């Protein structure tokens, strides 16, 4: 990390400081909310297929549990560090608070490259992680879920390992499970779907017609692929560009999202999709379009390119794609940002629905999941929009103010601060 702008945890702390200042929180509360309550770092030896042992670093950060048990995904990524996990755990705390679900925030990760690991190696890593970290997990303690490069299958192995250790059924210990093991209907596309509901509400407020308008998707994994499909289906957008780690493609006339997803799943990349031209990830972010969906990793909209972003609405499906410096520039240029922890809260909301269903052991149909998700996301968007109008601050700060107020109030009621 060459500067503070590139450390996501510094970014998360800066964002909190700004909100805490605006809310006039006392010094003790501010300092308490700037740091994780608990961090767990583990060393994981895994026997690889060649018979040799490889050692991995794993993390679990329980950022804040004032509003309930901590909740948050697990990332398996070569660039994972304790600071990324801390930042993501902080954002989970604000995310569960902004959608007003009775949970706190946490996050975990393993520094590894699952693309270079066999299924067997991934399974041994997943089970090894639970043997180390399982003691701090549980429905009433901390509940993981999938995130970058972790899958429902990995969640299934982890739940199985946890239940083997506990010698009883605990489906709610982890969410994002496959449906036959207690997963919820609608979890697969929940993150992007929630983003669509917030984009729909933002467009209404801003007086923007989305039907036939243009959309661009940066990052074409779980969140990005569903953004393209649902952007078309729910909002009526024409998807003109998409990218992944290998590069991007563009067709100003629009692309068939379903065919593009099929192409990505078959070839592993969006590149080479018929009737498109190549475009770099950097150029995609600066495209003239109505809605931009950053759906890859952190810190892609920075002070050096924010001034060139032309999208009217930036729906941040990725966590932390915009730096605080870039936020100021976007606000000045009247680009409306739906901040990450609001835009992508659909995933954790349906994860919470999954936990609820696991606990009462009775499962909801898909249309009920969609209806309840829409209700939660729409309410959260308007809570934030009302704060944005009332306080005349940029949308991320408004979202922070709503969320931090709720967490600070809970901590105060508990007598912690």
Rg, the chain, Cα only: 20
Is 148 a binder of ligand NAD (CB under 6 A)? yes
User: Total binding residues for ligand NAD by CB under 6 A?
Assistant: 23
**Which of 231-260 are b and which e, b meaning 16 or more Cβ less than 10 Å from the residue's Cβ?**
bbebbebbbbbbbbeeebbbbeeebbbeeb
Q: In whole angstroms, what is the distance from residue 253 CA to residue 200 CA?
A: 22
| CB-CB contact of 88 with 62 (8 Å) | no
* Stretch binding ligand NAD (CB under 6 A), from 100-108, 198-206, 241-249, 400-408: 241-249
Is 106 a binder of ligand NAD (CB under 6 A)? no
Is 63 a binder of ligand NAD (CB under 6 A)? no
Taking the least distance from each CB to ligand NAD, the nearer of 317 and 330 is: 317
Among 281, 299, 305, 308, binds ligand NAD (CB under 6 A): 281
DSSP codes of every residue in 352-375: HHHHHHHHHT----HHHHHHHHHH
| CB-CB contact of 91 with 82 (8 Å) | no
**CA dihedral (303, 308, 313, 314) positive or negative:** negative
Q: Which of 107, 238, 264, 376 is catalytic?
A: 107
**CA dihedral (230, 232, 238, 241) positive or negative:** positive
Give, in order, the Cα–Cα distances in Å from 24 to each of 204, 217, 244, 349.
32, 37, 41, 29
Q: To the nearest whole angstrom, how small is the minimum distance from the Cβ of residue 50 to ligand NAD?
A: 26
- Return the bridge partners of 55, or none: 45
Q: In whole angstroms, what is the distance from residue 299 CA to residue 314 CA?
A: 14
Is 154 a binder of ligand NAD (CB under 6 A)? no
Contact string (CB under 6 A) for ligand NAD, positions 328-367, x = contact = ----------------x--x--------------------
Among 56, 63, 76, 149, binds ligand NAD (CB under 6 A): 149
Active site residue 107: yes
Taking the least distance from each CB to ligand NAD, the nearer of 81 and 163 is: 81
Taking the least distance from each CB to ligand NAD, the nearer of 244 and 327 is: 244
What is the number of residues in the chain? 417
Among 134, 221, 252, 254, binds ligand NAD (CB under 6 A): 221
Is 9 a binder of ligand NAD (CB under 6 A)? no
Is 90 a binder of ligand NAD (CB under 6 A)? no
Which among 276, 292, 279 has a CA at the least distance from the CA of 247?
Answer: 279
Taking the least distance from each CB to ligand NAD, the nearer of 201 and 244 is: 244
Which of the residues are catalytic?
107
- Residues contributing to the site for ligand NAD (CB under 6 A): 147-149, 191, 218-224, 243-245, 281, 295-297, 317-319, 344, 347
């Amino acid at each position: 990390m060459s500067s503070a702008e590139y450390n996501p945890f510094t970014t998360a702390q800066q964002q909190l400081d700004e909100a805490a200042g605006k809310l006039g929180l006392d010094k003790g509360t501010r300092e308490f909310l700037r740091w994780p309550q608990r961090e767990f770092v583990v060393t994981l030896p895994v026997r690889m297929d060649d018979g040799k042992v490889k050692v991995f670093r794993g993390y679990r950060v329980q950022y804040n549990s004032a509003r309930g048990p901590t909740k948050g995904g697990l990332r398996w990524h070569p660039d994972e560090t304790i600071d990324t996990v801390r930042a993501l755990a902080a954002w989970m705390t604000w995310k569960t608070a902004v959608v007003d679900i009775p949970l706190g925030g946490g996050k975990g990760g393993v520094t590894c490259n699952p693309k270079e690991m066999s299924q067997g190696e991934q399974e041994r890593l997943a089970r090894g992680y639970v043997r180390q970290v399982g003691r701090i997990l549980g429905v009433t303690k901390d509940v993981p879920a999938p995130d970058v490069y972790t899958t429902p299958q990995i969640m299934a192995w982890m739940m199985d390992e946890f239940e083997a250790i506990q010698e009883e059924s605990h489906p709610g210990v982890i969410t994002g499970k496959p449906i036959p093991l207690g997963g919820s209907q609608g979890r697969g596309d929940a993150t992007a779907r929630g983003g669509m509901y917030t984009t729909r509400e933002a467009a209404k407020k801003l007086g923007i017609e989305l039907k036939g308008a243009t959309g661009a998707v940066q990052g074409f994994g779980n969140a990005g692929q569903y953004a393209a499909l649902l952007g078309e289906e729910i909002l009526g957008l024409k998807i003109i560009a998409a990218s992944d780690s290998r590069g991007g493609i563009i067709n100003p006339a629009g692309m068939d999202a379903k065919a593009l997803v099929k192409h990505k799943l078959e070839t592993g990349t969006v590149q080479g999709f018929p009737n498109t031209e190549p475009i770099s990830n950097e150029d995609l972010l600066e495209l003239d379009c109505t809605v931009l969906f950053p759906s890859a990793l952190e810190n892609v909209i920075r002070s050096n390119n924010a001034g060139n972003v032309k999208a009217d609405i930036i729906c941040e499906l990725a966590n932390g794609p915009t730096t605080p410096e870039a936020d100021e520039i976007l606000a000045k240029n009247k680009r409306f940002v739906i901040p990450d922890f609001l835009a992508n809260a659909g995933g954790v909301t349906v994860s919470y629905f999954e936990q609820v269903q696991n606990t009462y052991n009775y499962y909801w149909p898909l249309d009920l999941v969609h209806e309840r998700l829409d209700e939660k996301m729409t309410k959260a968007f308007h809570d934030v929009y009302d704060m944005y109008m009332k306080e005349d601050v940029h949308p991320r700060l408004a979202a922070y103010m709503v969320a931090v107020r709720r967490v600070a109030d809970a901590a105060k009621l508990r007598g912690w601060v």
